[in-house]
Structure 1
Amino acid sequence: MTQAYPPPLQRNLITLFALSGSFMTQLDTTIANVALPHMQAATSASREQITWVLTSYIVMVATFTPLSGWLAGRFGRKKLFLASIVGFTGASALCGLAANLDQLIAFRLLQGIMGSALLPMSQAILLDINPPERHGSAMAVWGIGAIMGPIVGPVAGGWLTQNMSWRWIFFINLPIGVIAFAGLLLTMAETRDDKPVRLDLLGFVLLGTSVAAMQLVLDRGQLLDWFQSTEIWIEATAFYLFLVHTFTARRPFVNPGLFRDPNYVIGNVMGFFLGGLMYGVMALTAPMLADLMGYPIQFVGMVTAPRGIGTMLTMLFMGPIVNRVDNRISILVGLALCGVSMIMLSNASLEMDSDLVIASGFVQGLGSGIMFVPITTAVFATLAPQYRNEGAAMNSLIRNLGGTIWISVLQTLTIRNEAVVHARLVETVRPDNPMMGDFDFGALQAVARMDIEIGRQALMVSYVDAYWLLFVACLVVMPLVLFLRRR
C-alpha cells in the first residue's frame, strides 16, 4: 500500500514549525558561550563553576536523546514534540529568571532534558512527510536548522549580551516556542507505533550513566592524570557495563540491529568527526581571537559568522542535487575543503588580521555544508523504516557526543602543548644566548613582560598544532567514504 504524504503547503508548514523547535535547542548549545563572563559576574561564580552552565545542558541533551525514540513510539511523535516545546520554552524562561548559580544550572539541566527530543524527532518528521526521492532535499533543509543554530549562537549571544542582558539569550526562545507549538498543533498529524516495545529501563540508566561518566572522564582526566586515578577507572567502567547489557539483554534499550547496517555505522563515524570539525574549530577560534588578539565579544561573533554563510549556501545548493550526484563524491569534496581550511588556519600568528579567520571559516562552512546532507542521507539510505525513530535519536546522540568529545580533547591537548612549548621557549631565555642582545635580566618588569609574551607565543603554537590535528582527522576519514553504499 502506497504511503500518503501531506500536500505541499501542509508539508512546508510542518517543516517550518518543526525546524523552529529544533533550531532553539541547537542555538542554546553555543549562545551561552560568549555570555559566560557576564553570568559569572551576576552569579558570583568561579571560572570552573560557570562552565557547568554549558556542560550541564550538553550532558542532559546527550543523555536523554536516545529515550526520544521510545517515547515517540509509545505516546506519539506529535504529543512528544509538543510537550518538548512547552517544557523547553518554560525552562528557558526559568533560566532567564534565575537568581543564583544553583538555580541557573538546575534550569539548564531541565532545559536539556526537555529539548533532547526536538532535534531527532524533527529529522524523523521530515523523513516521514516526504517521499524517498525528496529525502535529500528534506535533509538539506533540516541540516540548515541543525547546523545554523550553533553558528548563529555566538553572534546572537554577543549582540544580546552587549545590548540588552545575558538573560535575553534565554528569553529569545519564548516567541519561537509559542509559534512552533501553535503551528504544529494545527498542521501535524499524529504518528506512533502500533505495537510499541517495552522500555529497557536498566539499559537507559546505563546509557545515561555512561554518557555522564564519559563527560566526567573528559573534564577531570586532565586533573587526575587520567587512568592513574581510581575515579577515572570507575567512570570508564560505566560504558563497559552498558555494552555488556546491550549485547546480552533480550530487548535492549539500544537495538544492536541498528549497527548491522553498514551505511548507518559508517555515516555515524563520519558524523562524529564532522561534529569535531564544526564545534571543535569554533571552541578553539573564539578564545584565540578573544584572548590572544584582544577582539571584543561582539566582533568575535561577526568574524566567525562567515562560516555560517558558507554552510547555508552549500546546503541550499546540495538539496536539489543530492539525489543526482554520488554522495561519496560530495563527502570527499567536503572533507577536502575542510582540510584546506585547517591548513589555512595553521598559518595563524599573533600578527595576523581577521581576514585569515574569515576566509578559512567561509571555506570550512562550504565543506561542512557539502558533507552534512550526503552524510545524513547516507545514514538513513539503507536503514529499515522500523528503526527510523531510534536511528534518528542515536544519530543525534553520536553527533552531539562527537562535538563534546572533540572539544574536550582539543582543549586538553592545547593546554598540555602550551605547557610543553612554554617550557622549551623559556629554556632559550638566558644570558648566554646571543639572540637576547642587551636584555636586562635584572629588571623585574622586563622579565614579567617577556614571560607574558612567551605565554602568548606558546598558546598560539598550541592552537596551530590543534588545527593540524583536525587536518589529519580529515585525511583519516576519507577512506571510509569508499565503503558507503548508494540507496
Structure 2
Amino acid sequence: MSDRPEADELPVLRRVLILAAVVLGSTLYATTLLVASTLLPQMQGSMAATPDEIAWTTTFNILATAIATPTSGFLAARFGRRRVMLTGVLGSTLATWLCGQAESLEALVLWRVLQGGIGAPVVPLSNAIVLDSFPRRQAGLVSSIFGMTVVLGPVIGPVFGGMLAESHNWRWAFYMIIPAGLLAGLAQWLVLPRDRPAARVPMDWIGFLALATAIACLQLVFSRGQRLDWFESREIIVEAGIAALAFWIFLAHSLTTERPFLNLRLLLDRNYAIGLALVLIYGMVNFTPIVLLPTLLQSYAGYPDSIIGQIVGYRGIGGVIGFGSTLVIGRLDPRIGMSLGFGLLVVSGLWLMSLDLNVDVDTLRLNAVLQGVAVGVIWVPLTVLTFRTLDTRYTAEAMSVFHLLRNLGSSLFISASVTEIVRSTTANYSRMTEQVSPANRALGLPDAMGGWSLETPEALARLAREVERQAAMIGYLNAFGLYMAVSALAILLVMLARGPVRAAR
C-alpha cells in the first residue's frame, strides 16, 4: 500500500521544490532525445558511417523510449515512484556519459538505446507526481508548466550541443548533460516523498514482449532496408517475418487474455481510435525536420553547427507561442485547433519544399518558428479530443498507448525519410551524371556549362560534387513532401472525429 502524502498535506514550499525537481529531470531527459540531431554530420565523420547508419543514433533512442514507456505504471507499482524516478534520471545520465565515450557506431547506438529505455518512465511519472503533489484546482496551471518540458527539452540539446560541437567536438554535447543530470537526481532524492511499492500488479509479459519484438524488427526493416536492397536480402525477409509473427501473437493474445498489456477493445471508442491515428502522425511530423535539417545544412549548404543549433532553438520559441495560444484556442472545438495546427504544418512543409541550397538563415528561422507554433497548437486539443469520450477508468492504460504511438511515429517516419533521401539521392545522381559527357551536344552550346568544365580531373571532381549536392537536395525535398502529405492527411482524419456534445435545449 502506498504511503504518499495527500497534496493538501504538503507545504507550499515542498510542492514547489517537487515541481522544480521533476521538471528539471524530465526536461533533461527530453533534451537527450534529440541532442544528437545537430551532431549527426560530425558523428558520421568520426564513426565513418553513412547518413542512414548515423540516423540510428536518433531513431533507436526514440524507439527504446516508445517500447519502455508503457511499462512505467508497472514499474512504479512494483518498486515505487521515487526509486523508478531516481533510477531513470541517474541511469540515463550514466548512459549519456557512455555515449560521449563511445568509439564505434555500434557502441554509440547501444548506449543511446539504453539511454532511451532506462529514462522512458521519467516523463510519465513526473507528470503523475506533479498532479498528485498539487490540489486539483491547480492542475491546469502545473500541467501547463510541466508541458513546456515537452517543447523546450528537445530544442535545448540541439542549441547548446551545436555550440559545444563547433567549439570542441560532438562528445561535449553529451558531457554537458551530466552535471545537470546529477543535480536533478540529487534534488529528487531530497524532495520526492518516500513511497512504498503498491500491491503486486500483474504484467502481461507475453503481450509486452510480442509487441516490443514486432516494433523492433519493423524498425530494423525501415533502417536497413534501403542499404540491403529490401526483400532481396535474407536479413530483411527474416526481420519482416519475425515482425509479422510477433504482431500476430500480440493481437491474438490481446484479444483472448483477461488482462492484456494493451486493451484493444478501447479502439471501439471512435474519438480514441482517431486520436491514436492523429498522435501517430503528430509523432511523425514533430521531430523529423529537427533530424533532417542539420545534416542538409551542414553537409550541403555549409552552415556551422552553432547556427544550426540556433535555427532549431527558434522552433522552441514557436512552441512557447503555440502553447500560449491554447489558452484561447482551447475554448473552441478541439477539431478547430488541430485543423489549424496541422494546416500550419502543411504550410511549413510546402515552404521547405521551395528551399534550395542558397537558403538564408532568416528563412530557416521563420520556418522553424512556424513549425513550433503548429506543434504547440496541436498538442492540447489532440489530448482533449482523444480522451474526451473515454471511460476514465482506462485513462492510465490509454495514455500509455497514446505516448507509445507518438514515439513510434517519430522513429519510423525519421527512418522512412532518411531512406527516401538515400534512395532519391542515389537515383538522381545516376540520372544527372549520365548527361555529363562530351557526347552530350547540349553541353557544347554557348554558356551551357557556365563556370564548369570537363577538361581536367579537378574540374570533373568539382562538377561531381555539385551534382551530388543537387541530387541530395532533391532527396530532402522529397522527404519534406512526405512531411507535408502526412500533415494534410491528419486534417482529413480530424474531420472524422466526434465533436462536443451539445446540451439539449
Q: TM-score, normalised by structure 1?
A: 0.87
Amino acid at match of 1:19: V
Return 16-25 or 135-144, whichever deviates more: 135-144
Structure 2 equivalent of residue 378 of structure 1: 385
Deviation for aligned residue 1:369: 1.0
Structure 2 equivalent of residue 415 of structure 1: 422
Note the 1:80-159 alignment, pairs <5 A: 80-97=84-101, 104-128=108-132, 137-159=141-163
Retained in 1: the 8 A contact 2:40–2:295? no
Structure 2 equivalent of residue 290 of structure 1: 298
Amino acid at match of 1:357: L
| In structure 2, C-alpha distance between the alignment counterparts of 1:239 and 1:219, rounded to whole Å | 19
| In structure 1, C-alpha distance between the alignment counterparts of 2:401 and 2:469, rounded to whole Å | 40
Aligned residue for 1:28, secondary structure, equals: helix
| In structure 2, C-alpha distance between the alignment counterparts of 1:447 and 1:460, rounded to whole Å | 20
Aligned residue for 2:303, secondary structure, equals: coil
Deviation for aligned residue 1:242: 2.2
Retained in 2: the 8 A contact 1:311–1:368? yes
Amino acid at match of 1:236: A
Deviation for aligned residue 1:424: 3.8
Deviations 1:280-304 (A, max 9, x none): 1122211111122111112211223
Which of the numbers 301, 305, 313 marks the counterpart of 1:305?
Answer: 313
Retained in 1: the 8 A contact 2:59–2:412? no
- Structure 1 residue 389 and structure 2 residue 393: aligned? no
Amino acid at match of 2:494: V
- Structure 1 residue 449 and structure 2 residue 457: aligned? no
Amino acid at match of 1:304: V
Structure 2 equivalent of residue 163 of structure 1: 167
Return 259-268 or 187-196, whichever deviates more: 187-196
- Structure 1 residue 224 and structure 2 residue 228: aligned? yes
Cα RMSD for the two superposed structures: 3.2
Amino acid at match of 1:245: H
- Structure 1 residue 268 and structure 2 residue 272: aligned? no
Deviation for aligned residue 1:257: 4.2
| In structure 1, C-alpha distance between the alignment counterparts of 2:427 and 2:48, rounded to whole Å | 30
| In structure 1, C-alpha distance between the alignment counterparts of 2:63 and 2:115, rounded to whole Å | 11
Change (3 A) 1:343 1:46: closer
Change (3 A) 1:36 1:304: closer
- Structure 1 residue 204 and structure 2 residue 208: aligned? yes
Deviations 1:104-134 (A, max 9, x none): 5544343222201112222334455567776
Return 323-332 or 433-442, whichever deviates more: 433-442
Which of the numbers 350, 353, 378 marks the counterpart of 2:357?
Answer: 350
Deviation for aligned residue 1:465: 2.5
Deviation for aligned residue 1:179: 3.8
Note the 1:392-403 alignment, pairs <5 A: 392-403=399-410
Retained in 2: the 8 A contact 1:52–1:105? yes
Return 5+ residue gaps in structure 1 as ranges: none
Amino acid at match of 1:461: I
| In structure 2, C-alpha distance between the alignment counterparts of 1:77 and 1:249, rounded to whole Å | 28
Deviations 1:43-101 (A, max 9, x none): x6644775554444333222222211222233333332233223223333444455766
Deviation for aligned residue 1:413: 1.5
Change (3 A) 1:165 1:222: closer
| In structure 2, C-alpha distance between the alignment counterparts of 1:325 and 1:55, rounded to whole Å | 35
Deviations 1:11-46 (A, max 9, x none): 54433322222222221121123335555676x664
| In structure 2, C-alpha distance between the alignment counterparts of 1:96 and 1:443, rounded to whole Å | 43
| In structure 2, C-alpha distance between the alignment counterparts of 1:302 and 1:345, rounded to whole Å | 18
Q: TM-score, normalised by structure 2?
A: 0.84
Return 261-270 or 44-53, whichever deviates more: 44-53
Change (3 A) 1:241 1:351: same
Change (3 A) 1:50 1:333: closer
| In structure 1, C-alpha distance between the alignment counterparts of 2:254 and 2:191, rounded to whole Å | 38
Retained in 1: the 8 A contact 2:352–2:477? yes
| In structure 2, C-alpha distance between the alignment counterparts of 1:195 and 1:260, rounded to whole Å | 30
Aligned residue for 2:29, secondary structure, equals: helix
Deviation for aligned residue 1:209: 1.2
Retained in 2: the 8 A contact 1:246–1:252? yes
- Structure 1 residue 25 and structure 2 residue 29: aligned? yes
Deviations 1:217-271 (A, max 9, x none): 1111113333444224324323333222222223222222443433333222222
| In structure 1, C-alpha distance between the alignment counterparts of 2:121 and 2:392, rounded to whole Å | 19
Deviation for aligned residue 1:205: 1.5
| In structure 2, C-alpha distance between the alignment counterparts of 1:447 and 1:224, rounded to whole Å | 30
Retained in 1: the 8 A contact 2:317–2:369? yes
Amino acid at match of 1:247: L
Deviation for aligned residue 1:452: 2.4
Which of the numbers 19, 29, 34 marks the counterpart of 2:38?
Answer: 34
Change (3 A) 1:445 1:104: closer
Change (3 A) 1:258 1:27: farther
% same residue: 34
| In structure 1, C-alpha distance between the alignment counterparts of 2:138 and 2:278, rounded to whole Å | 22
Deviations 1:133-180 (A, max 9, x none): 766555443332123222222111112223355443333333433443
Amino acid at match of 1:329: I
| In structure 2, C-alpha distance between the alignment counterparts of 1:138 and 1:377, rounded to whole Å | 17
Deviations 1:327-386 (A, max 9, x none): 221111111111111122121112322222111111111111111222233334344444
| In structure 1, C-alpha distance between the alignment counterparts of 2:477 and 2:107, rounded to whole Å | 38
